[in-house]
Amino acid sequence: MRNELSIVLCGEAGQGIQTVENVLTRVLKLSGYHVFATKEYMSRVRGGCNSTSIRVSSKRLSAYVDRIDILVPLGKERTKHLNKRITKDTRILVEHEQIAVENKIYTNIAAVGVLSGVIGADKKVLSDYLSGYFSAKGAKTIEENQKAAGKGYELGINLASSGKFALKIDPDPKVKNEIMISGAEAIGLGALMGGCNFISAYPMTPSTGVFTFLAQNAAGLEIVSEQAEDEIAAINMAIGAWYAGARAMVTTSGGGYDLMQEGMSLAGMLETPVVVSLGMRPGPATGLPTRTEQGDLDLALYSGHGEFPRAIFAPGSLEQAVELSRRAFDTADKFQVPVFILSDQYLVDSYYNLPSIDIPKEPPKKYFIKTAKDYRRYELTENGLSPRGVPGFGEGLVAADSDEHDEEGHITEDLELRKRFVEKRMNKLKLLEEEALEPELIGEKNSRILIVGWGSNFGIIKEALSALGRNDISFLHFPQVYPLPKSTMGHLRLAKRVIAIENNARGQFAELIEKLTGIKITERILKYDGLPFSVEELVSRIKEKAGK
């Protein structure tokens, strides 16, 4: 008896995958099942072939698997691009089509019913959920949908009891009251916790979700939300907003971020905080707009001309996405530097249930000061941090200048001062280093083989290792990829072999570690076809590399 199920919905864009996914995952969660879902889709609005993978389990889940237990084609059968994932054990479920044969529009809800039945979800939850979901459409629609779902449910129960699925997933009552959020929402919520009250952005997949989330909550949470004419405007607005005392963020992806780099450099020079939520997708250029990749670490790391410090967070889970996004605002404000939240399509489009999100007791700390009459924005201090004032708060004047400047913020050509200002700015990197987050070690401290990962691969690597069940392999995950904490070297030195796992073609994080620690990481497991690793793929590739 399996206590976990992998369901895949597939079909053309616009065929209603979204509805099935939304309703099914909520109904399952409300019935007490742990749910994980993620999607892959083409860069088009109708047609093509997309899919959503939903895992249902008695245990918490946070990783993508290749395995398909039940495949549900919606609309015209479009399973071709999933061929590699379909095995003899894959059950292609089409029974719902029979149910809605008179009225095709109920096909999708019938499928929800069948799947709910197969799993044994709470029938009342299903029916209640549907009445909420369709409430705007009137009683008749609700009723018809409930009818279709009900029929599907019966059929599902029958299928299950026929024993073909050999399935027993015990619900966990605690889950019912949990929340379910996506990576995009997690970043947005973290930003709100960090005090974000200004968002300027230009739409770009896969970053638009975070922007949309904040725009939707602009009225409720009193956020200034504005779609800029281009990414250049977006970043320059965000910097202006921070300068004036707001807490601003931009959301973008690689190509859009390219255009923001001069602004990044400006933030570096002005020592104005700024937060960039950078959602990665495969490049170069337009690349694969709706796919995933970890190809822009180097970009974030070295972007913007000239030399100035920055911090880069790369969440590996929704929990981390919330916490690191919150922290990004604090770090940016405290050190007056640009800070990245580096995510990718896989992370922002994945969602699962979480116990809840704790709101910190302390409100976000504001680091700026009320200025006195003789205020000097760039006062030289020991550690390089000058108290930051904002215009209109206090008696002082606040001058920020993109040229090399003096302590007052006025343009200068004093080259000795230049030297001191370079050192002032660069010194903040040391401060950032001191506060850098520790990597998370999973497994023994001095195992023979150490796997190094960063960002969104966290859950997948973790599950792969637990599937492998080997105690000679540990996993070190970096939620902050720059600067690295001092401890990094120690961790790596203890291992006989280090294997980097990254969703890009060069192993950019491995290269960064090599550069910062001098430790060579020649063993790399890389992927760059636009899809995330799957647990199974990692199991086999780690086996291959690590040997028996």
| Amino acid type, 515 | K
From 138, 173, 220, 284, residue interacting with a copy of itself (rule: CB under 8 A): 284
The binder of 472, among a copy of itself, other proteins, ligand TPP, none, by C-beta within 5 to 8 A per type, is none
By CB under 8 A, tell whether 498 contacts a copy of itself.
no
By CB under 6 A, tell whether 12 contacts ligand SF4.
no
- Regarding beta strands 224-227 and 179-182, do their DSSP bridges make them parallel or antiparallel, or are they unpaired? unpaired
Q: Beta-strand (E) ranges in 74-193?
A: 91-92, 179-182
* Cβ-based neighbours of 508, under 8 Å, separated by 6 or more: 294, 295, 297, 298, 502
Please answer whether residues 65 and 59 qualify as being in contact, where contact means their C-beta atoms are separated by less than 8 angstroms.
no
By CB under 8 A, tell whether 533 contacts a copy of itself.
no
Minimum CB distance to a copy of itself, residue 83 (Å): 11
Please give the size of the binding site for a copy of itself, defined by CB under 8 A. Answer: 65
Contact string (CB under 8 A) for other proteins, positions 411-430, x = contact: x-------------------
By CB under 6 A, tell whether 204 contacts ligand TPP.
yes
| Amino acid type, 407 | E
The binder of 228, among ligand SF4, other proteins, a copy of itself, none, by C-beta within 5 to 8 A per type, is other proteins
Please answer whether residues 102 and 95 qualify as being in contact, where contact means their C-beta atoms are separated by less than 8 angstroms.
no
The binder of 446, among ligand TPP, a copy of itself, ligand SF4, none, by C-beta within 5 to 8 A per type, is none
By CB under 6 A, tell whether 255 contacts ligand TPP.
yes
By CB under 8 A, tell whether 220 contacts other proteins.
yes
In 3D space, the residue among 193, 134, 117, 510 whose CA is nearest the CA of residue 361 turns out to be 193
Please answer whether residues 313 and 332 qualify as being in contact, where contact means their C-beta atoms are separated by less than 8 angstroms.
no
CB contact burial 465-481 (16+ within 10 A = b; e otherwise) = beebebeebbbbbbbbb
Residues 98-127 that bind other proteins (CB under 8 A): none
Residues 331-390 that bind other proteins (CB under 8 A): 356-357, 359, 363-364, 366, 368, 390
From 24, 159, 193, 513, residue interacting with other proteins (rule: CB under 8 A): 193
∠ at Cα 182 (506, 203), nearest 5°? Answer: 70
Please answer whether residues 28 and 121 qualify as being in contact, where contact means their C-beta atoms are separated by less than 8 angstroms.
yes
Between the CA of residue 276 and those of 149, 155, 184, 211, 418, what are the distances in Å?
43, 49, 14, 11, 28
Between the CA of residue 492 and those of 72, 448, 476, 510, 520, what are the distances in Å?
44, 11, 9, 11, 10
By CB under 8 A, tell whether 43 contacts a copy of itself.
yes
The binder of 453, among ligand SF4, ligand TPP, other proteins, none, by C-beta within 5 to 8 A per type, is none
> SS3 for 352?
strand
Please tell me the distance from the alpha carbon of residue 249 to that of residue 234, in angstroms, as a whole number. Answer: 9
Minimum CB distance to ligand SF4, residue 45 (Å): 4
Residues 44-63 that bind ligand SF4 (CB under 6 A): 45-46
Contact window for a copy of itself (CB under 8 A) among 23-31, 129-137, 297-305, 317-325: 297-305
Report the residue number, 185 or 344, with the smaller CB distance to a copy of itself: 344
Minimum CB distance to ligand TPP, residue 345 (Å): 13
Contact string (CB under 6 A) for ligand TPP, positions 212-241, x = contact: -------------------x----------
Contact window for a copy of itself (CB under 8 A) among 169-177, 438-446, 492-500, 507-515: 507-515
Contact string (CB under 6 A) for ligand TPP, positions 264-303, x = contact: ----------------------x-----------------
How far is CA 293 from its chain centroid? 12
Q: Which residue of the chain is nearest ligand SF4 when measured via CB? A: 45
Report the residue number, 203 or 394, with the smaller CB distance to ligand TPP: 203
DSSP string, 432-499: HHHTPPPPEEES-TT-SEEEEEEGGGHHHHHHHHHHHT-TTEEEEEESEEESPPTHHHHHHHH-SEEE
Please give the size of the binding site for other proteins, defined by CB under 8 A. Answer: 95
CB-count exposure of residue 433 (10 Å: 0-12, 13-18, 19+): middle
Please tell me the distance from the alpha carbon of residue 113 to that of residue 101, in angstroms, as a whole number. Answer: 15
Please answer whether residues 59 and 4 qualify as being in contact, where contact means their C-beta atoms are separated by less than 8 angstroms.
yes
Between the CA of residue 398 and those of 226, 386, 389, 417, 483, what are the distances in Å?
25, 12, 6, 19, 30
Which residues in this chain contact ligand TPP in the complex, by CB under 6 A? 202-204, 231, 255-256, 259, 286
Which residues in this chain contact a copy of itself in the complex, by CB under 8 A? 42-43, 48, 232, 253-255, 257-259, 261-262, 264-266, 268-270, 282-289, 291, 293, 295-296, 298-299, 301-308, 401-404, 413, 415-416, 418-419, 422-423, 425-426, 504-506, 511, 514-515, 518, 520, 528-531
Which residues in this chain contact ligand SF4 in the complex, by CB under 6 A? 45-46
